[in-house]
Every structure is written in C-alpha cells, then in structure tokens.
Amino acid sequence: MAEQVNSLEELNQAVTGAEAEQEIPREPVRDDLGRSYATGKRKDAVARVWIKPGSGKVSVNGKDVNAYFARPVLQMILKQPFTVANVEGQFDVMATVKGGGLSGQAGAVKHGVSKALQLYDPSLRGALKAAGFLTRDSRVVERKKYGKAKARRSFQFSKR
C-alpha cells in the first residue's frame, strides 16, 4: 500500500513537472497606441477599460473618478488592483461603463482594470490572480417568480 502511495506521488510530481515545462510565457497584448484593453463585468454592469502608462489619471464615462464614483468606498475598490500589483500612479485608465448601479459599475471597472493590467504586463498576473481580481463575480440578482411578491418572498398570508 505504501508503495502505491509513493508511486502516485511520483506520478503527480512528474505530471506537474511536465506541465511546468510546457507552460508558454505570456506575451504583452497592446494596441498601436501602447494601450491594453479589457472588458470587466459585475452584476448587470459592463465596463470597457483601456490602460496606458501615465500619471495615474482615471476617467470613467468622460468624468474624473472622484466625480463619477463619489463614495470613498467605490474609489477604494477601483484602486485595489493597482495596490495589489504595486503599480500605483503608473497607469492612466479610461473606462466606459453601462448598466447596473454604482456598486456594480465599480466592480466591473475593477475587473476590467485587473484584466487589462495582466494583459499589459503578464508578470502582474500572479498577484492579481492570488487576490481573486481576475475571476468574474457571477452573483446576479435572482429573477422574480410568478405567484411570489419577489424572487422568494410570498404574499402576506391572511387567515380570514
């Protein structure tokens, strides 16, 4: 039995070693203007995000980030990918976002910025992935069902 366990461990190490050798280094993806583009999504919001090297200026739908996302919590959400990747103030962000509310839009821009950063500089992928910023948050509002007041709430019961 112990021999089987050892052989399984050796087999797993051999497979992971083969996968590591086959791993192709990622190339940066940039357009003619030196920008990287990505789409971010959260709830019903969809954000189109372009990043390029710059002074850290962020504009959302043509407005400054402080004007568009007035709440400090939303501004903090947008800065998280830069903080985790340790590149604060090195990139300019231009984003257009549609759908959903402000919270969903902030999450969508964060997702788009994370994906664009990873495309611009593939070495940042590990930190962004470890923080969970490259994963699309699939939680959406549950649909309303017929015979119910909301998605799950029943109408008030009356005995008489």
Output the pLDDT for position 16.
Answer: 60
The answer to whether residue 6 sits within a structural domain is: no
Output the pLDDT for position 24.
Answer: 78
Output the pLDDT for position 149.
Answer: 96
**Helix and strand numbers, DSSP H then E, in the chain:** 5, 5
The answer to whether residue 147 sits within a structural domain is: no
The answer to whether residue 10 sits within a structural domain is: no
User: What's the rounded Cα separation, in Å, for the pair 114 and 135?
Assistant: 10
Q: What is the DSSP string of 101-137?
A: -HHHHHHHHHHHHHHHHHHH-GGGHHHHHHTT-SS--
The answer to whether residue 60 sits within a structural domain is: yes
DSSP state at residue 31: -
The answer to whether residue 108 sits within a structural domain is: yes
Weakly modelled stretches of the chain, pLDDT under 50: 20
Output the pLDDT for position 23.
Answer: 66
The answer to whether residue 81 sits within a structural domain is: yes
Q: What is the DSSP string of 74-89?
A: HHHHHHHHHHHHT-TT
Sequence letter at residue 145: K
* Edge-to-edge strand ranges of the sheet holding 58-60: 36-42, 45-53, 91-98, 58-60, 63-64
The answer to whether residue 148 sits within a structural domain is: no
Model pTM greater than 0.85? no
Structure tokens at 101: 């509310």
Q: The domain spanning residue 70 has which CATH number? A: 3.30.230.10
Output the pLDDT for position 13.
Answer: 65
Tally of structural domains, the chain: 1
Which residues, including other chains, have CB under 8 Å from residue 28's CB and lie 6 or more apart?
A: 36, 119, 120, 121, 122
The answer to whether residue 18 sits within a structural domain is: no
Domain that holds residue 72: 36-130
